[in-house]
A and B are shown apart, each in its own frame.
Chain A
Amino acid sequence: MTSTDTTRRGEVSIRDLSKSFAINGRPLAVLKGLNLDIRSGECLVIVGASGSGKTTLLRVLAGLEAADGGRVLIDGAPVQGVGTDRAVIFQEPRLLPWLTVLGNVAFGLEVRGEQRARAEERARDYIGLVGLGEFADAYPKQLSGGMAQRVGIARALTVQPEILLLDEPLGALDAMTKITMQEELARIWSEENVTMIMVTHDLEEAVYLADRVLVLPKEKGAAARLIDIDLPRPRDRSEPRFVRYREELLREFGLH
């Protein structure tokens, strides 16, 4: 699953990006003049107060929303709608209840025109990767929240995207499951050689996973802050430097 061509694969360049929504007929700026370069294979975590536009940014990158102004380039080409180079993991697993785990994980590939047998073969690999090998024939109803989210992750990985977009993927999980899933995500990211862009409101999660943390400003048009997380992996949450990064992020929110 490693690519031989590591140059400009899953590289994102955002230039002067703006996006606003109409609220009661009046436009409300959500993103304004954002500039950002995301390196190939890095893990960028986006944090920000609610309303700072982090989910909107992710949806623009996914091609689910069109930008009002500015450009988003992926590997040099402008984003036009959804694309096979990207996969999205949502906060909810969004599994099709009438398909088994195997059917759900193979779904993405099948939709892209892969034959069922081949899609399921590859799906099995990724079901194993997320630790659900024994549950390939289970239906979503039979899974816990954490397991269901693993299925969603496996489905996204099965299409072997260059960029994995995660919108608060662990936000709905309990604290215990969340920590385990953070470890899983870190492992998957290191094994899959994929650019990972993740939105979260959990600052510890951000420090645990990110190469860089993007802090979106609350005041529109203000510069977004980028914080390098210069820590060895796997990361230790109790290490003083880890704690310092977390405090630094808290300060960004004016909370410390």
Chain B
Amino acid sequence: MSLQHIEQPSVLGAGIGDNSYGHELVQRGSQAAARFLSRYGALLGFLALWQVSSTRGWVNPAVIPPLDAIVVALWTGVVGGALLDDIAISLQRSGTAFAAAVVVAIPLGLFMGQVRAVERAFDPILQVFRQTSALALYPIFILLLGLGEASKVFVIFWATLFPLLLNTIGGVKEVDPKLIEMARVYGATRLTVFRRVVLPGAVPSIFVGLRLSATTALLLLIASEMIGANKGVGFQVMNAQYNFQIPLMFAAIVLLAGLGLLSNYALVLLQRRLCRWSSATA
């Protein structure tokens, strides 16, 4: 005897009613519209308010220019090629730093999370480093590495390292010891336990770290480009402000927000691919 009739799987698609096809399409369309509005309505409202405030003169349009002026500035900057160099160098700086952080933090975090003595010995210093603002350390990095690329990349690297490292350590430590014991019962070696249980178990937490680090990388990018740079999206924000090209300044800010959204989206997609089992959320 078995229980198949009683035990049902908890998730399975619900049946769709027997409406006519056209009716169903309309219904689906309006449902989609409602979903879209409930999600993006506030954002659209904000943009509309901005546009109206600026064109009606409720705010000073010289400081808060209308959206169309910003779009034009963005368009001429990107399509005209004036901002392309800046985007390229910014991506290079933050990309190099981010990649270096990934290469250092993930293996180090996996190791530290596994070996309790190491983790215990290094946790206090990690906490101190993490709480020390990377921006406050930037002058020191400049003194050590000069005002060129090295100090810029390093300050971004420094700031992105810790969220990733700490999340990787946390992910490894939070792997259920009962699962590890289960694997041991089947005769798994330490390496097999690591490869088949610890690593996959830590992946969701590593992704939290990756997304935090990607955001931090862009944040620090701007700050570092505001000091001693003559190229880069962050530089353009400062430069446009000095020259009072306010639409261009906003165009650069929009560009940065776009880069942030894009990198986050890319990581979410990757996470969904790797962690289909945990139904990753954006």
Q: Which residues of A contact B (CB under 8 A)?
A: 62, 64, 82-84, 86-88, 90, 92, 94, 96-99, 107-108, 111-112, 131, 135, 138-144, 146-147, 159, 176-177, 180-181, 183-184
Q: Which residues of B contact A62 (CB under 8 A)?
A: 185
Given contacts A97-B277, A141-B279, 11 further A-B contacts (CB under 8 A): A82-B187, A94-B176, A97-B278, A98-B201, A139-B277, A141-B11, A141-B277, A144-B8, A177-B3, A177-B6, A181-B3
Q: Are A98 and B184 neighbours in the complex by a CB distance under 8 Å?
A: no
Partner of A138, one of B2, B3, B9, B200: B9
7 contacts between A and B (CB under 8 A): A83-B187, A94-B178, A94-B181, A98-B203, A99-B277, A142-B11, A144-B8
Instruction: Using A96-B179, A138-B9 as known contacts, say yes or no to A112 and B4 having CB atoms under 8 A apart.
Output: no
Q: Are B186 and A98 neighbours in the complex by a CB distance under 8 Å?
A: no
Q: Which residues of B contact A159 (CB under 8 A)?
A: 186
Q: Which residues of A contact B275 (CB under 8 A)?
A: 98
Q: How far is the CA of A99 from the CA of B275 in the complex (A)?
A: 10
Q: Which residues of A contact B71 (CB under 8 A)?
A: none
Q: Which residues of B contact A131 (CB under 8 A)?
A: 2-4
Taking CB atoms and an 8 Å cut-off, the chain B residues in 231-282 that contact chain A are 275, 277-279
Q: Which residues of A contact B196 (CB under 8 A)?
A: 96, 107, 111
B11 nearest in chain A by CB position: A142
A170 CB → nearest B CB, Å: 12
Q: How far is the CA of A176 from the CA of B1 in the complex (A)?
A: 13
Total residues of chain B contacting the partner, CB 8 A: 31
Q: Which 4 A-B pairs have the closest CB atoms?
A: A131-B2, A108-B186, A94-B182, A98-B277
Q: Does B64 contact A (CB under 8 A)?
A: no
B183 nearest in chain A by CB position: A111
Q: Does B219 contact A (CB under 8 A)?
A: no
Q: Does B230 contact A (CB under 8 A)?
A: no
Q: How far is the CA of A99 from the CA of B278 in the complex (A)?
A: 11
Q: Are A183 and B277 neighbours in the complex by a CB distance under 8 Å?
A: no
Q: Are A87 and B186 neighbours in the complex by a CB distance under 8 Å?
A: yes
Q: Are A135 and B186 neighbours in the complex by a CB distance under 8 Å?
A: no
Q: Are A143 and B3 neighbours in the complex by a CB distance under 8 Å?
A: no
A28 CB → nearest B CB, Å: 22
Q: Are B10 and A176 neighbours in the complex by a CB distance under 8 Å?
A: no
Q: How far is the CA of A254 from the CA of B75 in the complex (A)?
A: 86
Q: Does B188 contact A (CB under 8 A)?
A: yes
Q: Are A184 and B2 neighbours in the complex by a CB distance under 8 Å?
A: yes
Instruction: Using A82-B187, A96-B179 as known contacts, say yes or no to A111 and B192 having CB atoms under 8 A apart.
Output: yes
Binary interface encoding of chain B residues 8-36 relative to chain A, with 1 for a CB under 8 A from any of its CBs, else 0: 11110000000000000000000000000
Q: Are A111 and B7 neighbours in the complex by a CB distance under 8 Å?
A: no
Q: Which residues of B contact A184 (CB under 8 A)?
A: 1-2
Binary interface encoding of chain B residues 160-180 relative to chain A, with 1 for a CB under 8 A from any of its CBs, else 0: 000000000000000010110
Q: How far is the CA of A177 from the CA of B187 in the complex (A)?
A: 31
A74 CB → nearest B CB, Å: 15
Q: Are B186 and A107 neighbours in the complex by a CB distance under 8 Å?
A: yes
Q: Does B212 contact A (CB under 8 A)?
A: no
Q: Are B1 and A183 neighbours in the complex by a CB distance under 8 Å?
A: yes
Q: Are B9 and A96 neighbours in the complex by a CB distance under 8 Å?
A: no
Q: Does B108 contact A (CB under 8 A)?
A: no
Q: Are A146 and B186 neighbours in the complex by a CB distance under 8 Å?
A: no
B182 CB → nearest A CB, Å: 4
Q: Are A87 and B3 neighbours in the complex by a CB distance under 8 Å?
A: no
Q: Are A180 and B182 neighbours in the complex by a CB distance under 8 Å?
A: no
Q: Does B135 contact A (CB under 8 A)?
A: no
The residue among A97, A143, A146 with the most chain B CB atoms within 10 A of its own CB is: A97
Q: How far is the CA of A240 from the CA of B27 in the complex (A)?
A: 63
Q: How far is the CA of A111 from the CA of B277 in the complex (A)?
A: 21
A224 CB → nearest B CB, Å: 25
A178 CB → nearest B CB, Å: 11
A159 CB → nearest B CB, Å: 7
Partner of A180, one of B3, B179, B200, B278: B3
Q: Which residues of B contact A92 (CB under 8 A)?
A: 178
